[in-house]
Amino acid sequence: MGHLSPHFSRKEFDCHCCGKLPPNWVEEEIPPLVTTLEQIRTAAAGQPVTIISGYRGVLHNREVGGEPDS
């Protein structure tokens, strides 16, 4: 799964530590979050929407002091 949608790649959303995507994302489907971001990008007249950190795995989240279940 290289691209999740026309404007967003898997790399923008996977965990920087382990490379995993959120466990509830199904590879064959565009996740609702990505669908919403595509709509935002369209409404922004094609301006870029940059994802810095779309998902943190449980261990990475713990290592950086993130909130549980965030």
Stated pTM of the model? 0.71
Q: Which residues of 27-38 are buried (b: 16+ CB within 10 A; e: fewer)?
A: eeeebebbeebb
Please report, for the chain, the start and end positions of each structural domain, with discontinuous segments joined by +.
Answer: 10-63
2-54 per-position pLDDT tens digit? 688 888 888 888 888 888 888 888 767 888 999 999 999 889 887 888 888 88
